[in-house]
Amino acid sequence: MNKASMEAGAFDGEGEAARPPQAPPCTVVIFGAGGDLTKRLLLPAIYNLERMRLLPTRFRLIGVDHNARSVEDYRLSLRESVQHFAKTRGAEAGAFDATAWAKIENSVDYFQGDFNDPAAYSRLRDHLAAVEKDSGVEGNVVFYLAVASRFFAPITLALAAAGIMREERDGSRWRRVIIEKPFGTDYASARDLNEQILGVLNERQVYRIDHYLGKETVQNLMVLRFANGIFEPLWNRNHIDHIQITVAETVGVEKRGGYYDRAGALKDMVPNHLFQLLSLTAMEPPNNFSADAVRTEKVKALDALRFADAKRPSECAVRGQYIGGTVQGQNYNSYREEIDVEKGSMTETYVAMKLTIDNWRWHGMPFYLRTGKAMTKRLSEISIQFKHPPQVMFRDTEVDRMIANRLVIHVQPDEGVSLRFGAKVPGPTVKLGRVWMNFHYFDYFDAAPSTGYETLIYDCMMGDATLFQRADSVESGWRTVEPLLESWKLDPYRNFQNYPAGSAGPQIADELLAKDGRAWNRMTWKPTEERKP
């Protein structure tokens, strides 16, 4: 997240939004050119970057896949995808910017090649050289691996073996690789993948992407903490009772049963998405906002992360699997009835856990994390629950319990921040009511349409790795959950409970917090519901 992108929502002295600089000339090569990720998210993000005038003037896009197809056919398929999936808002809602798309469309090329064929990479090297000569993209290339994880290492190694990843020493030509999740399936595989990739590339060339970090509210978390004097002094165990991080999805496994049944909720979401949110919430202030400074503090937080009972991690985590139910009016089958799922599968579609961070700031204060599929509401949020103030001065009034302040960072779908505090209810007696102050991004900023990938692709073009995971960050996440995975192997039925699709999860998840005298935030909650006492 370079300084320019951080300031994109700021306003200059004339009241106009400060515009980040245009990205330098480059080529984007997408492996997996015909996949869902490319069609649903990557091309709409590139289209939105052009609409924001951030895409390079000299730009080429090359789709790589094994299927034979013409350039014209590929361009048409991308146009249809962008028209269908690109997000627009406000007065332009539903509009398609034909001018913006025309520039991208004219830059699109298609390259047929088998990912496992070394000869394909030699041809790709020659093709890139011809593109550089013809279009003036200066040899700068972003390789986006929108492919199954089994191809991450083979493609990277083959690119290096063909000499494609070689950079100029003076920095006049750069080559970068964006790698999607899952980055490994456990600690050993993540470490092995890192060793393979870093055996042929420098860390500065590797961009391990987590699209959650492209969300405006996630990026705003650092600004909220470190640019506002009212929050950081209270951001510790002395003032905060506990922190909850929730990532809930209404969708089931859909057509991903084959992958999901091997992964489950923990591997799919916790070491990447949830731990990235946690590390940004818990990290110490970096010396500056350079990529390495920020990522070093995030890794320190992850290195100190522990299950609340380190000797018995399975007692600090619960899991469940959805059964038939109704989600927002739509009937759902049980997980075991989904396509490509084993009939007797014990794969969890929900997981919740209690963790602590063993450092000076957070020692002894719990972090509660939960994520699940087929739940009552699509919701991603970070909730900071502050400690109750002392009640001494109110002992002779009708106030029987003080109201704890709560700061809720809404990551999606309604990006913003809410703060709860107590206020006196009008009347002759002292009675407290809950009130909320709410900030919504779209109420204050003319935010551009976004898929969440725009910032990340732009930052990679700019060479800013702040919002991408470093090798040690990935390994720290897997190392933390490794004891729990091992425990589950020994006892597959421990703390496992089904939950109806459309619910907030299994009952045992509520019990995890009830043991501490706490409760999860309601997923159907809205700040406006708590305006009255």
Active site residues per annotation: 273
Alpha-carbon distances of 121 from 138, 146, 455, rounded to whole Å? 20, 17, 29
Closest residue by Cα to residue 495 from 343, 313, 310, 322: 313
Greatest alpha-carbon span in the chain = 84
Q: Are 143 and 174 in contact (CB under 8 A)?
A: no
Report the Cα 302 to chain-centroid distance in Å.
16
Residue 440 bridge partners (DSSP): 416
Rounded Cα gap, residues 170 and 50, in angstroms = 29
Buried b (16+ CB within 10 A) or exposed e, 175-203: bbbbbbbbbbbbbeebbebbeebeeebee
Decide: residue 254, CB within 10 A, 0-12 exposed, 13-18 middle, 19+ buried.
exposed
Rounded Cα gap, residues 314 and 353, in angstroms = 9
Q: Are 372 and 249 in contact (CB under 8 A)?
A: yes
Rounded Cα gap, residues 350 and 329, in angstroms = 21
State the pairing for strand pair 367-372/240-248.
parallel
Rounded Cα gap, residues 281 and 298, in angstroms = 9
* CA angle centred on 195, ends 191 and 196, rounded to 5°: 120
